[in-house]
Amino acid sequence: MIKYLIGALIGGVVGYFVFYKLIGCSNGSCPITANPYLSTIYGIVLGVLLAGVIASPARTANSEDTTQIPAIEYKKITPEEAKARLDSGDEIIILDVRTEEEYTSGHITNAVLMSNETITDKMPDLLPDLEAEILIYCRSGNRSAQAAKKLLSIGYTNVYDFGGIIDWPYDIVT
């Protein structure tokens, strides 16, 4: 909007001084007009049109912003893939995001309990390393997906969701 106002202002000045005074419309010899008001209006119209053509186009919602960093997404893996990672001997954190009652009724060996509701936008004390490999599960897979997204938004980089313990075909601790 401001570019059109500026264009109109500049165009009005150009219309009066160039069309009317310099070119000689004031003596009636110019095809535009000998009237200073109409010369100014022609200048305003031309100024607005030029402002629309010259000014850079505004960014639209469909514009592609190439400077944005792509969002990191958590990785969904199967219980079999999770078991293979646990058996690999690598240093892995297995995170149970259910309630304490659910955890005590049965959990995967060496799982760390951190209820999904306790994960906020701050780094949890139980997970001090942002680059640690974290395998997350809950009861059915809903809370583990939520927790994985929360951890990624905090800055964790190796987050894997393997769903719910109801799909875990291996031994659990009761």
97 contacts 136 by C-beta, under 8 angstroms = yes
132 contacts 126 by C-beta, under 8 angstroms = no
138 part of the active site: yes
135, β-bridge pairs: 94, 160
**Residues 44, 51, 95, 138: which is the catalytic one?**
138
Q: What is the 3-state secondary structure (H, E, C) of 28-50?
A: CCCCCCCCHHHHHHHHHHHHHHH
| Strands 75-76 and 133-138, bridge-based pairing | unpaired
User: Mind telling me the catalytic residues?
Assistant: 138
